[in-house]
Amino acid sequence: MKSKEQRLDTICEILQTTVVGNQEELLKQLNDRGFSVTQATLSRDIKQLKIVKIPDTEGNYVYKLPDHIIAAQQKSDPIKLSNVEFSGNLAVVRTKPGYAMGIASDIDNAETREILATIAGDDTILVIPREGISREELITALMQFI
């Protein structure tokens, strides 16, 4: 029996390489890879990963990863935690030149609870937190993009 985290990773992998139309199919794929769980657990995994079931172009349903997970897997690290600073409730993140727009877009698309919006220049992102979010929470939220 492998860890939950491994299972979640495997789910992401499966969804990127296979067309899966329902949870039972996904369950089979997981079994083939040595994970034995029930549909209930899978449903919870799917909820946690924010996976969606999309009606595809012709008549079928397909499970898909949310954009921010795909983005996270592709990008290495054009920003560093040391490059986050605060002014009031706002955070300013420095990136490699030219990367700010793209990363800001990733952050926006993730639609996290903590972040209301971002504005990006060329190498700087202004991160506007939602009300009541502490610096610590904001840093934690930003972590996933770093």
Contact footprint for DNA (CB under 7 A): 1, 4, 7, 22-24, 36-41, 43-47, 53, 55, 61
| CB nearer to its own copies: pick between 2 and 81 | 81
CB of 49 to DNA, least distance (A): 11
Interface residue with its own copies, options 8, 37, 89, 137 (CB under 8 A): 89
56 versus 122: smaller Cβ distance to DNA = 56
User: Using CA atoms, how far apart are residues 91 and 89, in angstroms rounded to an integer?
Assistant: 7
Rounded CA gap, 20 and 8, in Å?
15
Helix (H) or strand (E) holding 94: strand 90-95
With CB cut-offs between 5 and 8 Å by kind, which of its own copies, DNA, none does residue 68 bind?
none
Residue whose CB is less far from DNA, 47 or 74: 47
**Binds 86, which of its own copies, DNA, none (CB < 5 to 8 A, cut-off by type)?**
its own copies
Long-range contacts of 3-11 (CB under 8 A, 24+ apart): 4/45, 6/35, 7/35, 7/37, 7/45, 8/45, 8/48, 8/49, 10/35, 11/42, 11/45, 11/46, 11/49, 11/51
Binders in 16-55 for its own copies, by CB under 8 A: 46-48, 50-55
Contact at 8 Å (CB) between 35 and 50? no
Q: Measured from the CB atom, is 40 or 74 closer to DNA?
A: 40
Site residues (vs its own copies, CB under 8 A): 46-48, 50-59, 61, 66, 85-90, 92, 94, 101, 104, 111-113, 116-122, 124, 126, 128-131
